Amino acid sequence: MSGLFRHWLTRRIIQRSQITPGQWAEVFAALPLLRGYSEAELLRLRELAILFLHRKVFEGGAGFIVTEAMMLIIAVQACIPILKLAIDCYDGWLTVIVYPAGFAPRRVVRDEFGVVHNVQSHLSGEAWQRGPVVLAWDDTEHAGVIDGHNLVIHEFAHKLDMQTGVANGFPPLHANMSSTHWFEVFSKGFEDFQNRCSRGEHIGIDCYAATLPAEFFAVLSEVFFERPELIQQYYADIYAQLRLYYRQDPLLRLA
Ligand SMILES: [Zn+2]
């Protein structure tokens, strides 16, 4: 598809959107997180959310009915991380599955010794490589309050990370960024954070971030958009890297 045709098609999808000003007002009011956004940013967020809804399919899990308002609130939050990136960052997969509440899939896993276990873990969300994003509505509904937790941003940060394969806390960086530097500051921060958590020291960032580099990136992405001052205070180098990666500066927005 030529660039011009693609651009025309994108504009057409946006212009033909049936979402009313009232629906937008409702979703923005439900997301205090968006208070510091400029008019231009909110307009871009609307456009990205329209494209997101056009490209993705929503399914209810366990008989849950996903309403238009729910889809919109998920789409808008999913587009916060890509506000200054592109909708194409979410290419390569199709479905968002929404469960009414936390879910507990039973799975067979093989451990490092080759032993197979039948496990059942309780989850509020997950992102599959080249597969769906799964969200629990009870956690999603209140994700947009400013408390440093945002399930939607968390799962979609995993999706950004997975653009290069398995989630490992290393999304594809921009030309003005250094992979070596990213690796250094994130490794150092991850080790420091693991130490703080094992000492029982709490700095307002969920210790779930200490489980894996991929979770460190996803949790810090949530905190970056909701409580950026925490990352700036404890991990200023990581804040600078996230600012370059997301091309956003939430510290300025939430000041
Ligand atoms: Zn995660």
The verdict on residue 173 lying in a domain is yes
Distance (Å) from CA 28 to ligand 1 centroid: 25
80 belongs to a structural domain: no
Strands 133-136 and 95-99: parallel
Indicate the number of domains in the chain.
1
C-alpha of residue 218 to centroid of ligand 1, in Å? 6
Q: Side chain identity at 81, as an amino acid letter?
A: P
The DSSP letter of residue 249 is -
Residue 45 lies in a domain: no
Distance 2 CA to ligand 1 centre (A): 36
- How far does the centroid of ligand 1 lie from the alpha carbon of residue 245, in Å? 19
243 CA → ligand 1 middle, Å: 20
Is 217 inside any structural domain?
Answer: yes
Specify the pLDDT at position 85. Answer: 97
Dist. CA 23 → ligand 1 center (Å):
30
- Whether 225 is covered by a domain: the verdict is yes
The pLDDT of residue 181? 98
Residue 126 CB: number of other CB atoms within 10 A? 18
What is the block-wise mean pLDDT of the chain (255 residues), using blocks of 10 residues?
Answer: 86 92 94 92 96 97 94 97 97 96 78 76 84 93 85 96 94 97 98 97 95 97 96 98 98 85
- What pLDDT was estimated at residue 200? 96
Which pLDDT does position 111 carry in this prediction? Answer: 78
pLDDT given at position 77: 96
CB 103 within 8 A of CB 123: yes
* 248 found inside a domain: yes
Q: Give the length of the chain.
A: 255
Cα 211 to ligand 1 centroid, rounded to whole Å = 9
Q: What is the CATH number of the domain that holds 244?
A: 3.40.390.10
The pair of structure tokens assigned to 253 is 């927005």
The rounded distance, in Å, linking the Cα atoms of 108 and 126 is: 16
Non-local (6+) Cβ contacts of 83 within 8 A are: 41, 44, 45, 48, 246, 247, 248
Whether 215 is covered by a domain: the verdict is yes
Q: What does the pLDDT read at residue 105?
A: 75
CA of 25 to the centre of ligand 1 (A): 30
Give residue 1's pLDDT. Answer: 66
- Asked whether residue 195 is domain-assigned, the answer is yes
**pLDDT given at position 144:** 77
pLDDT given at position 218: 97
The model's pTM? 0.93
Q: What is the pLDDT of residue 13?
A: 92
Distance 155 CA to ligand 1 centre (A): 6
Q: Domain limits at 193? A: 168-255
